[in-house]
Chains A and B, each alone.
Chain A
């Protein structure tokens, strides 16, 4: 199973699990329609498009409505704790979810109890909880942006909001921040750092980087990091090794941005 866990920004979207089908700018999950804009729907849509090219492997999604109160995230957490043991998961990605260390730990321990540990990927809120829990090395891939990398590198910060200034402002920062994140045990086995240059790294340091084509407007656009996480998850789900998948995903996401020729107001409102 290629699993995606995330939220929909609607108060009344119920806990919904099932296969994803894409229709234009909408996703369909168990007859529920979800517009593709940003957040987890953008991740799912990018995954679906990538997998279509690679041979149509199915995505199983675990979604709930959450507008920041945590209620939908907590329903998802409970569902996963109750049901993970019966799932045949080989790759799982956690996305926009309310960071909560207790729930996070319950889920990770359940995943570690499986006969075969799946590849575990985290982005956004669940990555924050992963770092705060001290269990970051249990993950196979994190996909932080530069600011989130600084948060991973700050062993004292429980959220990017509290990253200390001397870490944010360090010169020549990305390689140093990667080293610092690993030295404090706050990074996954692999990192795909999103930014004006995308970096692929592991505990040995930077493995590769991608910086072209460059589309400056993507920095302002909501959803471009979500699509990158979706693409890399799909590539990993196809069997590709994580460093290769990360490098290719960075290039694919950049090419998508390049051909869309966006300005900072994209996709237009």
Chain B
């Protein structure tokens, strides 16, 4: 546990994606937008393929970017699965530069009746007793107000998963906070 801006924090984002992927023999899948990355991640994980969602190398950064790193040996199978789902990547390139690692900590803050969890730049707050999402804040991408509109006022069980309706890195970060607060509540 560490203290971050006076808030209790712990590392475990992306814990499931173990370090069993070494940087050697890795490729990255580059998609048109973050929504496609999120969909591709779900499909590939559902098929038991070990992948990681990472930040792209500087050469292909454009903005709200994510890429999927994968074992090159699985390339054919992965492309087949994605093609079947109409999610063909824009580019498939071998990893030659270090990939960026997503922020790897959660911060929790208890307000008494309310619990707030932050992942990266996104915060979600829940009324503990009712499990109702009462606030979503932080972030800067345009799906943040949209996600707040769709999720606030609903319980954790009722609320849509940000991975289903979000489109950007902020949406991705919110999905991580959403999963974490479900564990803590």
- Could you tell me the distance between the alpha carbons of A266 and B113 in the complex, rounded to whole angstroms? 13
Q: Which residue of B lies closest to A146 (CB)?
A: B5
Query: Complex: how many Å from CA A83 to CA B114?
Result: 47
Nearest Cβ on chain B to A224's Cβ, whole angstroms: 7
Contact B55 A220 (CB under 8 A): no
How many whole Å from B13's CB to the nearest CB in chain A? 10
* Residues in B111-162 with C-beta less than 8 Å from chain A: 111, 113-114, 116, 118, 120-121, 123, 125, 127, 132, 134-149, 152-153
> Once the chains bind, are B169 and A9 in contact (CB under 8 Å)?
no
- Report the nearest A residue to B66, measured CB to CB: A161
Which bucket holds chain A's interface residue count? 35 or more
Q: Determine whether B104 belongs to the interface, using a CB cutoff of 8 Å to chain A.
A: yes
Contact with B along A150-161 (1 / 0, CB 8 A): 010000111111
Nearest Cβ in chain A — how far from B116, in angstroms? 5
For B121, give its contact among A161, A224, A264 (CB under 8 Å).
A161
Nearest-Cβ distance from residue A194 to partner chain B, whole angstroms? 11
Measured CB to CB, the nearest residue on chain A to B118 is: A147
Q: Is the CB of B114 within 8 A of A263?
A: yes
B137 contact set on A, CB distance < 8 A: 38, 219-225
Interface residues of A in 150-201 (CB under 8 A from B): 151, 156-165, 168-169, 173, 195-196
Contacts of B135 in A (CB 8 A): 220-222, 264-266
Could you say which of A147, A163, A222 has the most chain B C-beta atoms within 10 Å of its C-beta?
A222
Given A101-B62, A222-B135, verify A9-B142 contact (CB < 8 Å): yes
- Stretch in A23-31, A91-99, A112-120 touching the partner: A91-99
Q: Does A121 contact B (CB under 8 A)?
A: no
Minimum C-beta distance from B100 to chain A (A): 4
A39: which of B5, B34, B109, B144 is its contact (CB, 8 Å)? B144
> Interface digits, A114-133 against B, CB 8 Å rule (1 contact, 0 not)?
00000000011111110010
Dominant SS among interface residues on chain B:
mixed
- A158 pairs with B148, CB closer than 8 A: no
Which one, B116, B120, B141, contacts A68 given CB within 8 A? B141
Task: Verify if A66 is at the interface (C-beta below 8 Å from B).
Answer: yes
Chain B residues 1-40 with CB under 8 Å of chain A are 2, 4-6, 33-35
Q: Does B70 contact A (CB under 8 A)?
A: no
Which residue of B has the minimal Cβ distance to A158? B61
Cβ B152 vs Cβ A269 within 8 A: yes
Distance in angstroms between the alpha carbons of A68 and B162 in the assembled complex? 12
Whether A22 is near chain B, meaning CB under 8 Å from some CB there, is no
Check if A165 sits within 8 Å of B138, measured CB to CB. no
Q: Chain A nearest CB: distance from B65 CB in Å? A: 7
Q: Which of B's residues lie within 8 Å of A, judged by CB?
A: 2, 4-6, 33-35, 55, 58, 61-65, 100-105, 109, 111, 113-114, 116, 118, 120-121, 123, 125, 127, 132, 134-149, 152-153, 166-173
Q: List 15 interface pairs A-B (beta carbons < 8 Å), by A numbering.
A: A66-B142, A72-B142, A96-B144, A98-B64, A98-B142, A99-B140, A127-B140, A158-B100, A159-B169, A169-B4, A220-B116, A220-B135, A221-B137, A222-B152, A263-B113
